[in-house]
Structure 1
Amino acid sequence: MLRRQIGRKFESLRKAAGLTMEQAAEHLDRARATLHRIENGAEHVRFRQADVQQMLDLYGASDDDREVLLALTAATRENKNWWHDYIGAGLPRWFQLYIGLEAAASSIRQYEAELVPGLLQTRAYAEQVFKMPGGAIDAADEQEQQRGVQLRVERQTLLTRFSPPQLSVIINEAVLRRPVGNAAIMAEQLHQIAKAAELPNVTVQVLTFSAGLHAGAMAGAFSLLEFPQDTHGREVEPPVAYLDAATGAIYLDKPHETAAYNTIWADMASRTLNESRSKSLIEQVAKEYSRA
């Protein structure tokens, strides 16, 4: 989040100075790709004070902008997020941005068609997921799998932290019906979902097979994240729609992109069971697994 704010401020200053990214890179004797990473908030960019001052000089930054950006970039050299230890072992770099956004979000909405959302998975269920080939983590590397599982478990603490985000989940009925591991794992997992839904900041609703065709059928799984407002009522970060795949992810933050996913969400939300009926169905399927 911090780096994305820095990137937007540098981009705004560059444009105000009437410079293209290519022109700025030439004046700074830096690669265009480096400036692109800075303006997009890439996690691995290092902000040396001399480099920051050079950019501020080139862009003709005001004293206020200079003070703010020197302080923000200094913070990137001092702070280390808890998930950094998982980079390269359980946490692909392309997913690292999502972890940061998730931790900063005030509202998270997720639709899942195939699997229980990561924030609601039990350890046993997550272990089964990470064993599957074709994912971001090598299915043959048991140690890396366990680090991935531990990361998933640690992420879940944000639901019970002070000032947690509002989590709204829509899951396809197939998520409940498709066994992952054995019946005991599924029973435990469904009980975990029902328990999480009792938290005041968590809602879980089921999109049943009887709902028929819905907008999410074409969109696939996605997350919509919204962020807190500053003291002036302005968003500190624009909303983001997130879609992931086996080898990468897509982050969409243009207004027309997030609006499209809001429309998809609204269509699905109009077709789901309400919270009470969803919980009843989840508990019913959990009992079926328990008797299996």
Structure 2
Amino acid sequence: MSQAVTGSTMLRRQLGRKLESLRKAAGLTMEKAAEELDRARATLYRIESGAENVRFRAADVKEMLKLYGASEEDTELVLAMASATRENKNWWHDYIGSGLPRWFQLYIGLEAAASSIRQYQAELVPGLLQTRAYAEQLFRMPGGAIEAGDREGQERAIQLRVERQALLTRFSAPQLSVIINEAVLRRPVGGATIMTEQLHQILKAAELPNVTVQVLAFSSGLHAGAMAGAFSILEFPRDSSGKEVEPPVTYLEAATGAIYLDKPHETDAYNTIWTDIASRALSESKSKSLIQHVAEEYSRA
């Protein structure tokens, strides 16, 4: 997959397609719309293509929405998307050059554009659910993406991890489905106090309507995830007809790089693995009970 496919790129494509569908619903050809908007046809084409050199100014977008007779709901959605392309475009770029690996930059962009994220973690709490204290312990470990002596780089990486979590409560937040191995709960990272806080953070996140957390208990026995290791499956918004616009991406991370898989047979393989893991995991309510139980054990330690 090309590194050029970022969250901003996908958002622009989605916004362009939405404006195109509204224009067509209004019965306007591109030529007629361009004439009414006093724009060149080529300009309108770039807008509907989501070209990188187009700035979706609020006044311009409102003019188009008015011409197309967009509903109040569509107007709210399109203006929010247009605002996101201007204000939140590649917000993580502030962290580039301070230890953030280039292979991870692509993941952040995909994560920001996803409508659905499914993650299996065998060893660690997923980044979107980590507390700052937990993340600090991870970035101090040798062999990570940030060099051990790069304190500034570590701090910026920790801050990035914390800021990424706003994804879960933003406008049009993705659906996050997490399955964690029981070992994630049982293995102390940084001591009992940090783990108590971390497990409470997971429980708090699980209360969000777009977040589900399940635990793969030790009693589940052998499962497909034991062979696959940790992975994330990201899916993206579909167009108005329900057609897949961007293919799903499976993300696999290692200490020195990452693999992005988007071929149909690769997606099918990891969907099969996910289905097996999900069928063996505890229900959401039983998972919450186990997480709460382990948190109480840490609080008494």
TM-score category of the 2 structures, normalised to the smaller one: 0.7 to 0.9
Report the counterpart of residue 251 of structure 1 in structure 2. 260
2:257 & 2:4 partners in 1: Cα distance? Answer: 20
Cα distance in structure 2, aligned partners of 1:176 and 1:138: 27
Rate the CA distance shift 1:180–1:232 in 2: closer, same or farther, 3 A.
same
* Aligned position for 2:165: 156
Counterpart in the other structure of 1:130: 139
Q: 2:126 pairs with 108, 117, 124, which one?
A: 117
1:271 to 1:252, Cα distance in 2 relative to 1, 3 A: same
Deviation at 1:198, TM superposition (A): 0.6
Q: TM-score, normalised by structure 2?
A: 0.74
Counterpart for residue 216 of structure 1: 225
Against the structure 1 CA distance between its residues 84 and 205, is the aligned structure 2 distance closer, same or farther, given a 3 Å change threshold?
same
RMSD: 2.5
CA distance in 2, matches of 1:229, 1:288: 44
* Cα-to-partner distance string for 1:195-253 (whole Å, 9 max, x where unaligned): 11011100000001110000000000000000001123222211000000111000000
C-alpha distance 3-278 of structure 1, shift in aligned 2 (>3 A): same
TM-score, structure 1 length as denominator? 0.76
Letter in 1 for 2:199: L
SS at match of 2:104: helix
Check the 8 A contact 2:122/2:229 in 1, yes or no.
Answer: yes
Amino acid at match of 2:91: W
- 5 Å-filtered alignment, 1:35-54, equals none
Distance 1:132 1:74, change over 3 A: same
Structure 2 Cα separation of the partners of residues 199 and 3 of structure 1: 32
Q: Distance in 1 between matches of 2:50 and 2:197?
A: 47
Structure 1 Cα separation of the partners of residues 163 and 129 of structure 2: 11
Where does residue 97 of structure 2 map in the other structure? 88
Contact 1:108 1:167 in 2 (8 A): yes
> 54, 68, 77: which is aligned to 2:46?
68
Once the two structures are TM-superposed, the CA of residue 143 in structure 1 deviates from its matched residue by 1.2
Give 1:182 shift. Answer: 1.1
1:106–1:166 CA contact under 8 A, matched in 2: yes
Aligned to 1:139: 148
Matching residue of 1:198 = 207
User: Does the Cα contact within 8 Å between 1:244 and 1:250 map onto a contact in 2?
Assistant: yes
- Matched-pair contact (CA < 8 Å) for 2:9–2:52: no
d(CA) in 2 for partners of 1:271, 1:7 = 37
**Could you say what secondary structure the match of 1:74 adopts?**
coil
Corresponding residue for residue 4 of structure 1? 5
Question: C-alpha offsets along residues 114-133 of structure 1, whole Å, 9 cap, x if unaligned?
Answer: 00000000000000000001
Residue 108 (structure 2) aligns with: 99
Q: 1:71 to 1:111 in 2, by over 3 A?
A: closer
The one-letter code matched in structure 2 to 1:271 is: R
Match of 1:25 in 2: none
Aligned-residue offset at 1:81: 1.3
Q: 1:75 deviation in Å?
A: 3.9
Structure 1 unaligned residues grouped into runs of 5+: 9-62
Alpha-carbon distance in structure 1 between the residues aligned to 2:186 and 2:231: 20
C-alpha distance after superposition, 1:95-142 (max 9, x if no partner)? 011101100100000000000000000000000000001011112211
Letter in 2 for 1:120: L
Structure 1 stretches of at least 4 aligned residues deviating more than 4 Å after TM superposition: 5-8, 63-66
- Asked if the contact 2:137–2:190 (Cα under 8 Å) also holds between the matched residues in 1, the reply is yes
CA distance in 2, matches of 1:2, 1:91: 15
Cα distance, 1:83 vs structure 2: 0.2
Q: Which residue of 2 aligns with 1:39?
A: none
Give the secondary structure class of the aligned counterpart of 2:51: helix
1:233/1:271 Cα in 2 relative to 1: closer, same or farther (>3 Å)?
same
Q: 1:134 to 1:232 in 2, by over 3 A?
A: same
Q: Percent identity?
A: 75
Contact 2:185–2:291 at 8 Å: present in 1 too?
yes
Q: Given that residues 3 and 106 in structure 2 are in contact (C-alpha distance below 8 angstroms), is that contact kept between their aligned partners in structure 1? A: no
**Paired letter, 2:280:** R
- Secondary structure of residue in 1 paired with 2:180: strand
CA contact (8 A) 1:90 1:151 kept: no
Q: Which residue matches 1:29?
A: none
